[in-house]
Structure 1
Amino acid sequence: MKTRDSDTVKTDTERTSSRILEILDVKGKVTETGAMTSPCSDYDSAEKIYRARHPWSIYKAPFADMKKGMDRLRVELPKDGWKIVKDGMDGTQGNSPQIIAESKGREFAVDVRLHKEVKAEDSPPLLEVTVESACYRSK
């Protein structure tokens, strides 16, 4: 397992997120969050093993545009060095379309879900993205 600087990993995770946003190419509002570091659940917390996570969403965009963004991911991620490991429904109550991909070398994973509008709950359509780094030992 690599020993890395947490700030560098967070920066790399945000850079990877920006690339996913470019590929999606959906014009809407994007939540303003930065990458966060959290302990890797696969390891004992005393070992100082972490991963960076960058969750964000696109909203206030037409559902059809978000769907096209998902289609672009299916085509462009493999060209960009990613392997799609899941492309189907997420199994939640809303059964949203989901793409999970891992970068070449498995430094990063991305989980993208497309949520439909739910009028009864006043919930607009949403494209939810989480980019996660591989686990690393903190310097």
Structure 2
Amino acid sequence: MKTQDSDAVKAGVERTSSRILEILDVKGKVTDTGAMASHCSDYDSDEKVYRARHPWSIYKAPFTDIQKGMDRLRAELPKDGWKIVRDGVDGSRAKSPQIVAESEEGDFAVDVRLHRASKAGNAPDLLEVTVESACYRSK
């Protein structure tokens, strides 16, 4: 297992998120969150092993534009050093389109889900993205 400072891992996750946003090329509002470090649940709680996660979303964009962004991801991720490991629908009742990919080096994974606006009108069309790092041992 690699050893790396948590700030460096968070910065890497944020750079990866920025690249995903570039590929999507969807004009809309983007939630403003930063990467967070958390303990890797696969390891004993006494070990200082962590990963960084960066969840964010794009909203206030036409649904067709968001769909085209998902299509760009399908086409561009493999050219950009990613392996798509899942491309289908998630397990939710809405059966939202989902793409899950891992970087070739195994340092990062991305989970992208396309959500339609709710019929009740309390949730907009939304592209939900989570970029996550591999687990690292603290320096």
Aligned residues: 139
Deviation per CA, 1:61-83, whole angstroms, max 9, x where unpaired?
A: 00100000000000000000000
AA partner of residue 53 (structure 2): R
Equivalent position of 1:9 in the other structure: 9
1:121 shift after superposition: 4.6
TM-score, normalised by the number of residues in structure 2: 0.98
More helix, by proportion:
1
Equivalent residue of 1:7, what SS?
helix
Matches within 5 A, 1:34-49: 34-49=34-49
Equivalent position of 2:105 in the other structure: 105
Q: Percent identity at matched positions?
A: 77
Deviation per CA, 1:6-30, whole angstroms, max 9, x where unpaired?
A: 0000001000000000000000000
Write the distance in 2 (CA, Å) between the matches of 1:93 and 1:9.
Answer: 34
TM-score, normalised by the number of residues in structure 1: 0.98
Equivalent position of 1:18 in the other structure: 18
Matches within 5 A, 1:1-139: 1-139=1-139
Moved over 6 A (4+): none
AA partner of residue 45 (structure 2): S
Deviation per CA, 1:40-67, whole angstroms, max 9, x where unpaired?
A: 1111121111000000000000010000
Write the distance in 1 (CA, Å) between the matches of 2:131 and 2:88.
Answer: 18
Equivalent residue of 2:105, what SS?
helix
Q: Which runs of 5+ in 2 are unaligned?
A: none
Deviation per CA, 1:80-102, whole angstroms, max 9, x where unpaired?
A: 00000000000101110000000
1:105 shift after superposition: 1.0
Equivalent residue of 1:92, what SS?
coil
The Cα RMSD (Å) is: 0.7
AA partner of residue 125 (structure 2): P
